[in-house]
Amino acid sequence: MCGLVCLWNIDDAALARRMIDRIAHRGPDETGIHSLPGIPAVMAHCRLSIIGTENGSQPIPGEGALLAVNGEIYNHRALRAALGPARFATDSDSEVILHLFADGAPTWIAEPDGMFAFVLATPERVVAGRDPLGIKPLFMARIGDGLAFASELKAFDGLGLDTIAAIEPGTLFDSRHGVRRWFRMPQGAADLRGDEDPEPLWRELRLVLEAAVRKWLVADVEVGSFLSGGLDSSIVAAIAAQSLDRPLKTFSVGMADSPDLVAARAVARHIGAEHHELVFTAEDLAEILPHVIYHLESADTDLVRSALPTHFATTLARRHVKAVLTGEGADELFAGYSYHHAYRNRHRQLADEITRSLGTMHNINLQRVDRITMAQGLEARTPFLDRDLIAFAQSIPASLKMKADSEADGGSTEKWILRKACEDLLPPALLWRKKAQFDEGSGTVEALQTALSGLLGTAPPVDRNSEGRLYERILRERFEEPDFILANAGVWTGGRVAV
């Protein structure tokens, strides 16, 4: 995992250095700035070495082009074999993009499977692409007659730019041909057909899920797992633990004796993990708030709240590993949010809402996970957002995701088919544990009230408007051009499908 900068038709190595220094936290292992004769580009890259640790330095030259990548390509071995191993100069998974582009197949961009953002420059054009869900970020701005690309907004802070655009998830920008959308979210299914038996679906789901976790474990370094004690992270950790020949390192954080800590200990014992905990206080929250808001690049109240425990989980995990698995995406994919219960008998609408919300994750939860983990040079991996798993899960009827308990009680169980598929992995009390948001289960919400009261000098409770104003004030103090950051920050997207 890394950070990148590319200046196209801008011959300014000093500017590239300034920009990459702003995001150097993304890649603490190595920084490189490179250009090639005949290619009107300066590229900079800060590297967190995960695959090809010995010779995977970037930017990567070759095939008449220069390439910088942020992310992981999980099918790189298969692609390397198909492309011809003799063409490769490094062991980096990223190099496959260079050769796929050079071969010129019309749909080459659909070949890499993973999470990635990249910029590739040739003498005639610059090309930039992003993974299907936007797990990895990439921004583009015009500077004079040239283009500037970078992994985070803060790289552009202070440059006096008027406009900037995010390379959208699942799109490819080409300075010669414009923008094309190479990935479209599969439309979710609504109901079972007639008397169709759901058992084959949940059994196949289990196999697809196991394959996704194994795929996202690929690395030349040890991979651990965040473990909140909730369903999603517990399932990922349990499958990962079965896939390794060593104890899985798991990481849990919260206030002392918070529900998440208690549940995570039970899961860790059950799966035989090497478990680690970090307990934080209200004073800790107040202290790290400016750091979190700066790296989050947002003052959105809900994003900041969920970013705080993510920061502590990252702090803990980074002491032991360079990469972790997370449970992000399961709630969007399998109807895990409380508001999904309103769709109990509206399966077509629920299927449409799931499809919509998956397409907005890059601006909210995925932004939080990327920015906060990369702030400390930790790679976060999201196997629930594996492309094959998404395709299969979207074929599962929404009526099996939010499943009615019975006509008599009028209740419903979120993520029913996911629980059913993993019934043998966890004890029933853990598998059917009531969902809590990360900031709630970890105790962050209550402790944050104490922290905010101290910062504002008021008695609790602190209302959301006052909380939001404090976050914005902190953000404004940390950036040279805060209006630019706020105008381009990811925000929670409205427009939920009507019930």
Tokens of 30: 């190595």
Residue 162: half-sphere exposure toward Cβ, Cα within 13 Å: 3
What pLDDT does 99 receive? 97
Query: Cα separation of 352 and 394, whole Å?
Result: 10
Is the Cβ–Cβ distance between 46 and 23 less than 8 Å?
yes
Give the Cα separation of 98 and 120 in Å (integer).
Answer: 8
Q: Half-sphere exposure of residue 412, counting CA atoms within 13 Å on the CB side? A: 23
* Known binding-site positions for L-glutamine: 93
Domain boundaries, the chain: 2-181, 199-488
Kindly list the distances between the CA atom of residue 464 and the CA atoms of 281, 304, 445, 484, in Å, as whole numbers in the listed order. 21, 12, 12, 23
**Per-residue pLDDT tens listing for the chain (499 residues):** 699 999 999 999 999 999 999 999 999 999 999 999 999 999 999 999 999 888 889 999 999 999 999 999 999 999 999 999 999 999 999 999 999 999 999 999 999 999 999 999 999 999 999 999 999 999 999 999 999 999 999 999 999 998 899 999 999 999 999 999 999 999 999 998 877 899 999 999 999 999 999 999 999 999 999 999 999 999 999 999 999 999 999 999 999 989 899 999 999 999 999 999 999 999 999 999 999 999 999 999 999 999 999 999 999 999 999 999 999 999 999 999 999 999 988 999 999 999 999 999 999 999 999 999 999 999 999 999 999 999 999 999 999 999 988 654 568 999 999 999 999 999 998 898 766 665 567 888 889 999 999 999 999 999 999 999 999 999 999 999 999 999 998 777 678 999 9
- Name every residue whose Cβ is closer than 8 Å to that of residue 148 and which is 6 or more positions away in sequence: 5, 6, 7, 8, 10, 19, 140, 141, 142, 156, 159
Per the CB < 8 A criterion, the answer to whether 351 and 275 are in contact is no
Supply the pLDDT for residue 344. 85
pLDDT of residue 445: 87
CATH top class, domain 199-488 = alpha beta
Contacts of 356 (CB under 8 A, 6+ apart): 495, 496, 497
Pairwise CA distance, residues 449 & 133, whole Å: 33
The three-state secondary structure class of 7 is: strand
| pTM given for the model | 0.95
Beta strands in 345-389 (DSSP E): 379-381
Task: Please tell me whether the peptide bond between 428 and the residue prior to it is cis, using omega within 30 degrees of 0.
Answer: no
Which two structure tokens, joined as six digits, stand for 197? 């038996």
Q: In what order do the strands lie in the sheet with 165-166?
A: 30-34, 41-47, 2-8, 146-150, 139-143, 165-166
Residues in the chain: 499
Which amino acids are annotated as binding site for ATP, given as ranges?
253
Q: What pLDDT is recorded for position 438? A: 58
What is the spatial distance between Cα 381 and Cα 329, in angstroms, rounded to a whole number?
11
How far apart (Å, rounded) are the C-alpha atoms in residues 421 and 202?
5
Q: Encoding tokens for residue 415?
A: 């993520």
Catalytic residue among 2, 6, 46, 422: 2
Please tell me the class of the 2-181 domain.
alpha beta
Bridge-based pairing of strands 223-226 and 323-325 is parallel
Q: What is the token pair recorded at 54?
A: 């010995």
The pLDDT of residue 406 is: 62
Q: Specify the amino acid at residue 252.
A: S
Structure tokens that stand for 19 in this block: 């920009």
Q: What is the largest CA-CA distance in the chain?
A: 74
Count Cα atoms within 13 angstroms, Cβ side, for 181: 8
Of the candidates 382, 394, 389, the one whose C-alpha atom is nearest the C-alpha of residue 335 is 394
- Catalytic residue list contains 422: no
Which amino acid is present at 419? R
3-state secondary structure of 306: helix
pLDDT number for residue 175: 97
Q: According to the model, what pLDDT value does residue 439 have?
A: 59
The binding site comprises 93, 253
If you write DSSP's letter for every residue of 51-83 in order, what string do you get? SSTTT--SSEEETTEEEEEEEEETTHHHHHHHH
Rounded CA-CA distance 304/378 in Å is: 19
Class of residue 13 by CB neighbours under 10 A (exposed 0-12, middle 13-18, buried 19+): middle
> Residue 3: what are its φ and ψ, rounded to 5°?
-130, 150
Count the alpha carbons within 13 Å of 308 in the hemisphere toward its beta carbon.
35
